């Protein structure tokens, strides 16, 4: 891990009044490097590759604590699993692949503008929002050569 990433983790802990234990440091390191939205089980799998002594209960406690302190945001998509991402990103929305569970982040100024217009038309201003669009691939993956058709 880079010194910059280490200092980011130390800064986050200091800002939120958290003691930086070895397990928390590894968990936060993995979260900061994640390009997806891991659930606790997937996060534990990744953390265990670095330090197999970190228990899944520690992962759950750390996730809850980081969420309570505002460091993480929790998403529960249609699959029912709680997934996490850091809150230091700019606002974005999500495309969720219903076949694989993959999550794609995107930002659309046009969608943001339309949401503002709709809220104003109904006499409101948007305070916060979350947009999750459940999608299916337009094309099925190509079958591998040599596989029998069902």
Rounded to two decimals, what is the model's pTM?
Answer: 0.65
Coil, strand, or helix at residue 105?
strand
The number of beta carbons lying within 10 Å of the beta carbon of residue 136 is 9
Q: Which residues are annotated as a binding site?
A: 91, 93, 112, 129
Instruction: Please name the fold of domain 1-89.
Output: Arc Repressor Mutant, subunit A (1.10.10)
Using the CB atoms, write b or e for 63-93: b if 16+ within 10 Å. beebeeeebbbebebeeeeebbbeeeeeeeb
Ranges of each domain in the chain: 1-89, 92-139
The number of beta carbons lying within 10 Å of the beta carbon of residue 28 is 25
Q: Which residues are annotated as a binding site for Fe cation?
A: 91, 93, 112, 129
Query: What is the rounded CA–CA span in Å between residue 142 and residue 106?
Result: 26
Instruction: Please name the fold of domain 92-139.
Output: Dna Ligase; domain 1 (3.30.1490)
Nearest to 63 by CA among 18, 28, 35: 28
- For every one of its 150 residues, what pLDDT tens digit does the chain have, with 9 covering 90 and above? 445 555 666 777 777 777 888 898 899 889 888 888 888 999 999 999 999 999 999 999 999 988 888 788 888 877 788 888 877 667 888 898 999 888 888 889 999 999 999 999 999 999 988 898 999 999 876 655 554 444
């Amino acid at each position: 891990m880079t010194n910059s990433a280490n200092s980011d983790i130390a800064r986050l802990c200091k800002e939120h009044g958290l003691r930086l234990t070895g397990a928390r440091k590894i968990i936060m390191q993995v979260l900061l490097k994640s390009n997806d939205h891991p659930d606790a089980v997937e996060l534990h799998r990744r953390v265990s590759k670095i330090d197999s002594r970190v228990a899944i209960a520690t992962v759950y406690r750390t996730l809850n604590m980081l969420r309570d302190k505002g460091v993480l945001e929790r998403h529960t998509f249609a699959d029912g699993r709680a997934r996490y991402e850091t809150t230091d990103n700019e606002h974005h929305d999500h495309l969720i692949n219903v076949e694989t569970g993959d999550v794609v982040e995107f930002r659309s100024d046009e969608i943001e503008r339309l949401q503002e217009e709709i809220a104003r038309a109904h006499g409101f201003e948007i305070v916060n929002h979350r947009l999750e669009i459940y999608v299916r691939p337009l094309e099925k993956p190509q079958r591998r050569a040599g596989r029998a058709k069902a």
